Amino acid sequence: MRDVVGLILGGGQGSRLFPLTEFRSKPAVPIGGKYRLIDIPISNCIHSGINRIFVLTQFNSASLHRHISTTYRFDSFSDGFVEIMAAEQTQDSADWYQGTADAVRQQLRHLLSRKSDQVLILSGDHLYRMDYRAFIEEHRDRAADVSIAVKPVSRKEAPSLGILKVDDQGQIVDFCEKPQTEAELDEFRLDEPLGEDPNELYLASMGIYIFEPQVLVSLLMGSDQDDFGKHIIPDAIHKVGVYAHTFDGYWEDIGTIRSFYEANLALTDAQPPFSFYHSGAPIYTHARFLAGTRLENCRIERGIVCEGSYIRYAQIERSVIGIRSVIGAGCQIANTIIMGADFDETPGDIERNASQGIPNVGIGANTTIDGAIVDKNARIGDQVNITNRAGVKEAEGPHYYIRDGIVVVAKDAVIPSGTVI
């Protein structure tokens, strides 16, 4: 697949994932204890034989740039690359990216400088494992102008996705971005399910597209609209041959705090719907060379504990514990994502913390956390209780937020000893 160029859209603001996106872009959000969301599409490309990859970036992109530049380096004898295309001012435009389609439009000159037979456009915030080769081969066999990867979904899921209709040959004949009315949903309902789940009676776009390069140029330059799902794809259906490729594996759009939380915790299941452990197609990430985790008298039930951590006399249940996590004696952690830390504190750091009256990075002794997300480098003191017992749905406090009932402790937060949230 050396004749295919991959293009990953990573420039969105990610407002629905706030506060996890307060200081980082959505594709840079950590997942699974040690990875970042951007690792998913890049790894899928590499395993599919696509090693010429562009990543479009814009908002809060510093950590994403750093992660990509230090992780994905091809050797000098390969023509492979993972190249960042940051939003830039030019003679033609002084504007930031206005949407997914506008981002690609502004970078067409750079994109077309790399000769390719097809352009594969991906989102940087989805969790799935996919071999794009079958998708590309089907696109070529059909002599399609545009192909879209689609997945059967339920009526409950349909209003948050782009829903489409196909004919007997798999050509898309109608498209509706996020249908909201009962009439719209009824119109796009399948006569019978395509898979084993009888409730999955709708076909949803996965935001994964293949374009013939000349068709991509024509559609983008022939329109001033900014978004693929809202504008370009519905328009293309009436102008060129647009086909659907059905994907029946696990796929999750990590677009909200709730979806992020549930996708992470699902990784701890005995048979998780998605697993980072795959001998043939592992998900790549930055190699950190951390020591193994130290555990002292701990009880862990259904958890992921990543390297470089130190946990003593703690109980952990259905939780993801990220790299370099420090969890003190007597802690009870359940249904929680702890992202860990970017650094290890030295004895000097710990002494300085004591003199300044602030907790060390990590979770202090005898702390209880249930139903929360603790972002990186958080300092949580002793005997803190983070359980949202009152069942608050939305709130903000000093260094924390509650979103859809989930407490999110912000990056670099300081939560004093004895705090109750």
- Tell me the per-residue pLDDT of 282-294, one tens digit each, with 9 for 90 and over: 999 999 999 999 9
Q: Looking at residue 89, what is its pLDDT?
A: 60
What integer best gives the mean pLDDT of the chain?
A: 92
Give φ, ψ of 342 to 5 degrees.
-90, -5
Range of weakest confidence among 27-41, 175-189, 254-268: 175-189
Q: Looking at residue 337, what is its pLDDT?
A: 98
HEC assignment per residue over the chain = CCCEEEEEEECCCCHHHCCCCCCCCHHHCEECCCEECCHHHHHHHHHCCCCEEEEEECCCCHHHHHHHHHHCCCCCCCCCEEEEEECCCCCCCCCCCCCHHHHHHHCHHHHHCCCCCEEEEEECCEEECCCHHHHHHHHHHCCCCEEEEEEEECCCCHHHCEEEEECCCCEEEEEEECCCCHHHHHHCCCCCCCCCCCCCCEEEEEEEEEECHHHHHHHHHCCCCCCHHHHHHHHHHCCCCEEEEECCCCEEECCCHHHHHHHHHHCCCCCCCCCCCCCCCCCCCCCCCCCCCEEECCEEEEEEECCCCEEECCEEEEEEECCCCEECCCCEEEEEEECCCCCCCCHHHHHHHHHHCCCCCEECCCCEEEEEEECCCCEECCCCEECCCCCCCEEEECCEEEECCEEEECCCCEECCCCEC
Q: Is the pLDDT of residue 197 over 70?
A: yes
Range of weakest confidence among 276-285, 324-333, 397-406: 276-285
Q: Looking at residue 230, what is its pLDDT?
A: 86
* Section 68-84 average pLDDT: 88
- Tell me the per-residue pLDDT of 227-237, one tens digit each, with 9 for 90 and over: 898 889 999 99
Residues constituting the chain:
421
Q: Is the pLDDT of residue 76 over 80?
A: no
Q: Looking at residue 79, what is its pLDDT?
A: 83
Q: Looking at residue 295, what is its pLDDT?
A: 97
- Tell me the per-residue pLDDT of 292-336, one tens digit each, with 9 for 90 and over: 999 999 999 999 999 999 999 999 999 999 999 999 999 999 999
User: Mind listing the domains of the chain with CATH numbers?
Assistant: 4-266 (3.90.550.10), 294-415 (2.160.10.10)
Please state, in angstroms and rounded to a whole number, the distance separating the CA atoms of residues 374 and 410: 7
Q: Looking at residue 263, what is its pLDDT?
A: 97
* Section 87-113 average pLDDT: 76
Q: Looking at residue 106, what is its pLDDT?
A: 85
Q: Looking at residue 412, what is its pLDDT?
A: 97
Q: Looking at residue 4, what is its pLDDT?
A: 95
411 pLDDT band (50/70/90 cuts)?
very high
Q: Looking at residue 401, what is its pLDDT?
A: 97
* Section 353-375 average pLDDT: 97
Range of weakest confidence among 87-101, 110-124, 186-200, 377-391: 87-101
146 pLDDT band (50/70/90 cuts)?
very high
Q: Looking at residue 194, what is its pLDDT?
A: 79
Neighbours of 396 (CB within 10 A): 12
Give φ, ψ of 55 to 5 degrees.
-125, 120
Q: Is the pLDDT of residue 90 over 70?
A: no
Q: Is the pLDDT of residue 195 over 90?
A: no
Quickly tell me which residue has 């002794």 as its tokens: 365
11 pLDDT band (50/70/90 cuts)?
low
